[in-house]
Copies of this chain bind each other. A is one copy, B any other.
Amino acid sequence: MADTKTRPTRGGRAARIAARTNPPPVYLNTLHSKIGPIDLLGPEGVEEIHNAAMTILETTGIEFRDPTALADWKRAGADVQDQRVRVGRDMLMELIGSIPNGWAYHGRNAERSTRVGGRDTVFANAYGAPFVYGLDGVRRPSTLQDAQNFFKMAQMSQAMHVPGILPVEPQDVPIPQRHLDLVKSALTLTDKPVMGSVLSETAARDTVEMMRIVHGEDFIEKNVVVAALLNCNTPLVWDETMLQSLRVYAAANQPCLLTPFVLAGASTPASPLGGVALLIAEALAGLAYSQIIRRGCPMVLGVALMGVSMKTGAPMMGSPEPGLMNLLVGQMARHYGVPWRSCTMWTGAKTPDLQAGYDSANTMWSVLLGGCNFVVHSAGFVEGALGVSYSKWVHDAIQLEGYHRFFSGLQSEDLGSILGDIAGIGPGGHFLGTDHTRENPMHMNILQNNDSYEQWEAEGSRNADLVGRDAAQKMLDTYVKPPMPDDVAGALNDFVAKKRAAYAN
C-alpha cells in the first residue's frame, strides 16, 4: 500500500505550495432538489404496484440463502419453508415503517457532511470496475493506486459528495487484505462521508472498527458515517455474503443500499410496471429484514437498472425503459418513506465518446427526475461498468456541478432592478457590463470547449477525451491531503498492520 509515509512530496511544503497556487475547491452542499420529482402514477397505480409486490412476497415468496436469516425470519413470525420466506403484508409494512426517512451522512470533516433522504441527494463515486482507462487513455487492470487516485479526485471534486469505497477494484492487492487498504485510503485521503466494504463478514466488521477509530464509538452509535452497497440477485434471491454484511452494518446502526440488480427483460419482466413490482418486493424484503436485526436502523431502497439487448443479451445503459423505471422506483420509495439509491453516468461505450455522453446524461436525468437520494456511479464508468476512465471521471464530476445548479432551481432575484437594466439599455444594447451580469455569472463548465474552430484547431484539435485526461492529471497534481490527528492516524495504522498480518497467515 502506498502509505503516507512513503510519499513525502504530498505532505508539508509541497502541499502548502499547492494550496497557495491552486485555491481549494468550493464544495457544493447536498443537492436539495427543486425540480420534480416526477410522479408517473396516480394513487391507484401506486397501490397496484404495492399490491403486486405484496402478492409476490406472500405467495411466491423470496429466498434467503443464509441459515441465520432464515432463523431470524422464523422467529419474527414469517412463513419459512426450506430457503423460501413468505411474509404477510401487515408484518412487512410494520417493519418498513421503522426505517428513517432521511439522515445526516457524516464525513470526518463536519464541513463535508451531507444529507440523504426526502429532497436531499448526494452524488457518490464509481464502484467496483476491474479495469481503468488510464491517464494515457490505455485500458489495463485497475490497481490500488488507481483506487487511491479516484479517492483523491473525489476529495478535490466540488460535487462528488461521497468518495465511496471501491472506486475501482485493486487487482494488485490480495483479496483478504483488499478492504483494509481501501477503507484506510478512503478515510485518510478524503474527509468526506465514505462507504463500507462488503467483501465478507470480516471486511464489514473491520470497516466498522475503522469507523469507530476515526469517528469515536459513541458517535457512530447515533450517526451515519458509512453506507454499504449490497446487491440482491434478482429475481428473488438474497445470498449469504450480502446478508452477513447487512447484519454487521445494521447492528452498528449504519445503512445499507439494498439493491436488486436489474437487467430488465432478463432478470425481471421486460415491463416497467412488472419489473418494478418485482424489484420493490425484493428490496422491501431486504429492508424488512434489516429492521429485524435492528429496529430503526437507517436503510436505503436500492436499484441498479439496465435493459438487456434482445439481440446479444448484453446490458444496455441509457435506455428509455430503465429511465421510466427510475421514476417508478422513486415514487414507490416516497410512498414507503424510505430514501432510495440508483445508478448513473454509465455506458456500454468503450471510449468516452458521443455514445458515452448520451448514455450517461440520459440515465442521470431520469435518476434526478425520480428524486433519487443516493446516486451511485456518479463519475467515470465506461464499458458497461467494467471500466472507469480517468478522462470521463473528470468530465462526469464536472457535469454533476451543472446538474446541481439546474436541479437547485431558480435563485431568488430582484426582478425590479433587472427591469431597470432593461429599461436603461433598451433596444439593440447588451447586458455584458451591468452590475447584475458581473455579480451573477452564468454557470461555466471548465472542460467545455466553446472556442472558434480556428482557435480550437490552432490549439491542437483536442477532443473531450484528451481534455479530460489532462484535467485528471491536474486534479492529481493539485490534490491536497486533508489533515488527520496523529493519534487517529496512528490507531488506524496499528489496526491495519495488525489485521494485515493476521490475514497474511
Contact = CB atoms under 8 A, between A and B. Distances in A.
Interface of A: 34-36, 38, 40, 48, 52, 55-56, 59-63, 84, 131, 139, 233, 235-237, 264-274, 277-278, 307-321, 323-324, 327, 348-362, 365-366, 369, 383-384, 386-387, 391-392, 395, 399, 402-403, 405-406, 409-410, 413, 415, 418-419, 421-423, 425-432, 434, 436-437, 440-445, 447-453, 456-457, 461, 463-465, 467-468
A249 to B, nearest CB: 24
- How many chain copies does the complex carry? 2
B52 A431 contact: no
A358 B355 contact: no
A362 B361 contact: yes
5 contacts: A62-B427, A274-B415, A308-B442, A354-B354, A358-B361
A273 B410 contact: yes
A383 B453 CA distance: 7
Most buried by B among A317, A319, A450: A450
A316 B269 contact: no
A351 B463 contact: yes
The 5 closest A-B pairs by CB, nearest first: A357-B357, A274-B418, A348-B450, A361-B361, A320-B406
A465 B448 CA distance: 18
Contacts of A311: 444
B448 A415 contact: no
B355 A442 contact: no
A350 B453 CA distance: 7
A243 to B, nearest CB: 14
A309 B450 contact: yes
A388 to B, nearest CB: 13
A43 to B, nearest CB: 15
Given A269-B434, A310-B441, A443-B319, A60 B426 contact: yes
Contacts of A452: 314
B350 A235 contact: no
Contacts of A453: 131, 139, 350, 383, 386-387
B430 A266 contact: yes
A274 B361 contact: no
B321 A461 contact: no
Given A266-B431, A450-B309, A422 B60 contact: yes
Nearest to A83: B427
A37 to B, nearest CB: 10
A464 B465 CA distance: 13
A72 B399 CA distance: 49
Nearest to A34: B40
Contact of A442 (B265, B349, B351, B430): B265
Contact of A355 (B405, B428, B449): B449
Given A38-B38, A266-B431, 19 more contacts: A35-B38, A56-B419, A131-B453, A235-B430, A269-B437, A274-B436, A277-B419, A314-B452, A319-B442, A349-B464, A352-B353, A353-B357, A354-B354, A354-B356, A361-B361, A361-B365, A362-B365, A362-B402, A369-B369
